[in-house]
Amino acid sequence: MNVAEPGSAEVAVLLPGTGSDDVFVRSVFEVPFAAVCARAVTPRPVPGPLLAEACFTALDEAAAQRPVIAGGVSFGAHLAAEWALANLDRCAGLVLALPGWHGEPGEAPGAVSARASADLVRSLGVDGALAVATDGVPPWLADELTRSWRGYSDGLADSLTAAADRPAPTLADLSRLDTPVGIASCDDDPIHPRAIAEEWLKALPRATMCTTRLDIIGVDPEALGRAAVLAWLRAGGR
């Protein structure tokens, strides 16, 4: 496998999902992008109500010299597509894993879950909310939530609310993104339904989709990144 030296490769800026962090995004995307000689940049989330704006700043800074590949997981995928719509000349492609809704969040499962989590944090604190949120979930997911939620500290509830309340690009918006797009979806993820990913796929002019499963990601996080990067290549990335 050829691993690109910093500064010599295409750059892919990958954003985390709701309540997630740069550690998870890096575990998903770093190796799959290195395999195609692209350098993954994973900004650390800035907790609080301006979470999205901090992500856009990271993308702007990375794209100051040349276009970048933008992407992310869940809410991070929404933000990457939103940024691309405002920066068509600076986006070299999109890798979008597990989009949760399009347009207004409404009662999308991901938005409902984030609102409920924010309420738990506000009423029980981070540790108390974690005790509820990790009860009965697979150990790998409990570990991810424990690390990432504690990393948000006092900004967790506002971060969750910022994600839950923010509209994603509409299907009409997505139809304007004439750039190679790779979408990754999971067949067994009720929070990010495959049907939503398929609606994004149909709306985007140059997109393909590959799928995996949460039970696979639990032991091999790179499976999600491989699915997204492979879909991007098939869509004409490069």
Please check whether residues 140 and 227 belong to one and the same domain.
no
77 Cβ neighbours under 8 A, 6+ residues apart? 15, 17, 71, 96, 97, 98, 99
User: Judging by DSSP bridges, how do beta strands 68-73 and 91-97 pair with one another?
Assistant: parallel
Distance CA 9, CA 23 (A): 21
The fraction of the chain above a pLDDT of 90, given in percent, is: 96
Distance CA 90, CA 145 (A): 33
Please check whether residues 128 and 213 belong to one and the same domain.
no
Please check whether residues 94 and 177 belong to one and the same domain.
yes
Please check whether residues 135 and 90 belong to one and the same domain.
no
4: in domain: no
Closest to 14 (Cα-Cα) out of 4, 3, 1, 34: 34
Distance CA 166, CA 163 (A): 5
Strand order in the sheet with 91-97: 38-41, 10-15, 68-73, 91-97, 181-186, 207-212
Residue 238: per-residue pLDDT: 81
Please check whether residues 128 and 189 belong to one and the same domain.
no
166: in domain: no
CATH number at residue 61: 3.40.50.1820
> What are the residue ranges in the chain where pLDDT is below 50?
1-8
Please check whether residues 20 and 91 belong to one and the same domain.
yes
Please check whether residues 118 and 30 belong to one and the same domain.
no
Distance CA 92, CA 124 (A): 43
Domain boundaries, position 114: 109-161
198 Cβ neighbours under 8 A, 6+ residues apart? 185, 209
55: in domain: yes
Please check whether residues 96 and 113 belong to one and the same domain.
no
pLDDT in tens, 59-101: 999 999 999 999 999 999 999 999 999 999 999 999 999 999 9
Please check whether residues 98 and 203 belong to one and the same domain.
yes
Please check whether residues 66 and 134 belong to one and the same domain.
no
Residue 6: per-residue pLDDT: 42
Residue 44: per-residue pLDDT: 97
Please check whether residues 15 and 90 belong to one and the same domain.
yes
Please check whether residues 96 and 178 belong to one and the same domain.
yes
The number of domains in the chain is: 2
Residue 152: per-residue pLDDT: 97
Residue 5: per-residue pLDDT: 42
